[in-house]
A and B are shown apart, each in its own frame.
Chain A
């Protein structure tokens, strides 16, 4: 046997061979039928460690570990969602929706069918609730689109989201529910959580109210588990920074910058059931240290207006505050009191300067 043949055979044998090397090996074996036959024998060999009483030992180790972790296991299993506050929230939302539908001339939802999919789109300034055949419900925030199959697959439940939605997914252990967004997939078996993935925003976010959720970053297939009362924010322009700082920063630092994990933000210290991330369900507009330009994006969706900020310095100003069901003029007046600026409204265009 030549040196090259043994090298190639070892690589093949270990599953490390490349396509080119495999072609070279095949060529060599073709020339030497004796080696070819022996290579065939080699393939048939199975190797294993000698394990005499191993199975008993393995079982006793498993029992020992199970006993230690078993005590902690019991209260852990059923993660009951906090139903009472949510039911209340759903009812207020329904009232709000009825009011919106009754009073809103410019608001509409549309629904059409395409290639076996239903597509629900909410216009600016409105929300809508979708019920799926499996009992799950989805509330779609303003300016969002949800696409889902008319007939859900038996093995897997999949929907596509652009925008923001609150999901309350019926548990079905054998049928994972997957939400496809632009940069991430969110996988669950059954739970309630909020997904925010607007194309025009520079991040995508998953906030979990109850149950366990997995977020898969599409780019690098990284899987991130999100616990209840936790959210994970994925910065879209991370690629950007990556190419810019590629030569200087360590790889780990970059990853940490692209993905941000934090607890959900309670609206007030007294009320831990209501969090900022799902405040939109109650028609509450809440800002926590957000720049005027990001607030403007939200107001555009919320009120169905176009907002132009002429002064970049103003656009970078940060605001915190809360508004429940107020007109946009009222809201802008409140913001003016925090930080002085001028604005004018013409038709549906608000100009800030």
Chain B
């Protein structure tokens, strides 16, 4: 099973404090982390502040941080902690905000065996995803787009692994239904 995990080898950053490598890391993760921070604090400007804070802190502490096994997961956790501290110092509660829209596209590299997905199907799937509860949609993004494991998502969102499983099954059922019941041309 392929995961879309963005974890690569960033060892040159950890070993040599390579700024170029660090910029690569920021490029790869900023958008995802911002989205995640936003789901906690509820607005984009603060989310950006939090992500910048996390990067600055990691840079400053790089000599003392044990290189994590999954940098991606490490960053998500750092964003979560920073965001929660931020809320706490402002006397606010988590916002559970996730207004992002999700895009659906068929694979770019269509192979001959692939069964065509019609434009209608894509539209229906998009509608199906938009109709998912916000929490479910967020889990969906963390698993399907970020490639995080159920376990990691459970820790990040303070849920049980079973809940993550239930929510993913729910998302799958909706999309399954949106795919329709018949595939006419496949037998012709």
Contact yes or no, B144 A14, CB < 8 A: yes
Contact yes or no, A61 B179, CB < 8 A: no
Contact yes or no, B145 A48, CB < 8 A: yes
Q: How far apart sit A69 and B63, CA to CA, in the bound complex (Å)? A: 14
- Chain A, residues 1-17, CB within 8 Å of chain B (1/0): the string is 10000110111111111
Residue A212 at the chain B interface, CB threshold 8 Å: yes
Do A7 and B175 form a contact, CB below 8 Å, given A14-B143, A49-B100, A62-B30? no
Residue A64 at the chain B interface, CB threshold 8 Å: yes
Q: Considering the complex of A and B, which 9 residue pairs feature the smallest CB-CB distances, nearest first?
A: A10-B169, A50-B101, A15-B1, A10-B172, A44-B107, A58-B30, A69-B59, A62-B26, A10-B168
- In the complex, which of the residues A13, A17, A41, A61 contacts B30, with contact meaning CB atoms closer than 8 Å? A61
Q: How far apart sit A37 and B183, CA to CA, in the bound complex (Å)? A: 8
Stretch at the interface among B9-17, B78-86, B87-95: B9-17
Do A64 and B52 form a contact, CB below 8 Å, given A46-B107, A48-B145, A69-B59? yes
Residue B105 at the chain A interface, CB threshold 8 Å: yes
Stretch at the interface among A153-161, A223-231, A235-243, A314-322: A223-231
Residue A80 at the chain B interface, CB threshold 8 Å: no
> Taking the nearest CB of chain B, how far is it from the CB of A223, in angstroms?
5
- In the complex, which of the residues B1, B12, B145 contacts A49, with contact meaning CB atoms closer than 8 Å? B145
> Taking the nearest CB of chain B, how far is it from the CB of A208, in angstroms?
12
- Chain B, residues 167-180, CB within 8 Å of chain A (1/0): the string is 01101110110010
Do A16 and B117 form a contact, CB below 8 Å, given A49-B35, A50-B100, A50-B103? no
A contacts, CB < 8 Å to B: 1, 6-7, 9-17, 34, 37-38, 40-42, 44-51, 54, 57-58, 61-62, 64-66, 68-70, 72-73, 76-77, 173, 189, 212, 214, 221-225, 227
Residue B149 at the chain A interface, CB threshold 8 Å: yes
Contact yes or no, B149 A16, CB < 8 A: yes
Task: Return chain A residues, CB-CB under 8 Å to B51.
Answer: 61
Task: Return chain B residues, CB-CB under 8 Å to A14.
Answer: 143-144, 150, 168
- A-B residue pairs in contact (CB < 8 Å), sample of 18: A7-B169, A10-B169, A12-B1, A13-B144, A14-B143, A40-B115, A41-B115, A44-B115, A44-B117, A46-B107, A49-B31, A49-B141, A61-B26, A61-B48, A68-B56, A69-B59, A189-B15, A214-B14
> Taking the nearest CB of chain B, how far is it from the CB of A226, in angstroms?
10
Contact yes or no, B176 A54, CB < 8 A: no
Q: B172's closest neighbor in chain A, by CB?
A: A10
Which residue among B17, B65, B69, B149 has the maximum number of chain A CB atoms within 10 Å of its CB?
B17
Residue B97 at the chain A interface, CB threshold 8 Å: no
Task: Return chain A residues, CB-CB under 8 Å to B31.
Answer: 49, 51, 54, 58
Contact yes or no, B125 A45, CB < 8 A: yes
Contact yes or no, B107 A6, CB < 8 A: no
Do A222 and B114 form a contact, CB below 8 Å, given A34-B183, A46-B105, A66-B19? no
- In the complex, which of the residues A47, A66, A212, A221 contacts B16, with contact meaning CB atoms closer than 8 Å? A212
Which residue among B23, B30, B67 has the maximum number of chain A CB atoms within 10 Å of its CB?
B30
Task: Return chain B residues, CB-CB under 8 Å to A37.
Answer: 115, 183, 186
- In the complex, which of the residues B14, B52, B63, B179 contacts A42, with contact meaning CB atoms closer than 8 Å? B179
Contact yes or no, B16 A189, CB < 8 A: yes
> Taking the nearest CB of chain A, how far is it from the CB of B21, in angstroms?
12
Task: Return chain B residues, CB-CB under 8 Å to A65.
Answer: 26, 52, 55-56, 59
Contact yes or no, A47 B17, CB < 8 A: no
> Taking the nearest CB of chain B, how far is it from the CB of A200, in angstroms?
29
Contact yes or no, A77 B179, CB < 8 A: no
Residue B102 at the chain A interface, CB threshold 8 Å: yes
Contact yes or no, B165 A41, CB < 8 A: no
Task: Return chain A residues, CB-CB under 8 Å to B143.
Answer: 14-15
Which residue among A40, A42, A65 has the maximum number of chain B CB atoms within 10 Å of its CB?
A65
Q: How far apart sit A14 and B67, CA to CA, in the bound complex (Å)? A: 26
Task: Return chain A residues, CB-CB under 8 Å to B102.
Answer: 47-50
Contact yes or no, B27 A38, CB < 8 A: no
Q: How far apart sit A186 and B60, CA to CA, in the bound complex (Å)? A: 24
Task: Return chain A residues, CB-CB under 8 Å to B112.
Answer: none
Contact yes or no, B103 A49, CB < 8 A: yes
Q: How far apart sit A189 and B16, CA to CA, in the bound complex (Å)? A: 9
Task: Return chain A residues, CB-CB under 8 Å to B48.
Answer: 57, 61
Task: Return chain B residues, CB-CB under 8 Å to A13.
Answer: 144, 168, 172
Q: How far apart sit A44 and B115, CA to CA, in the bound complex (Å)? A: 9
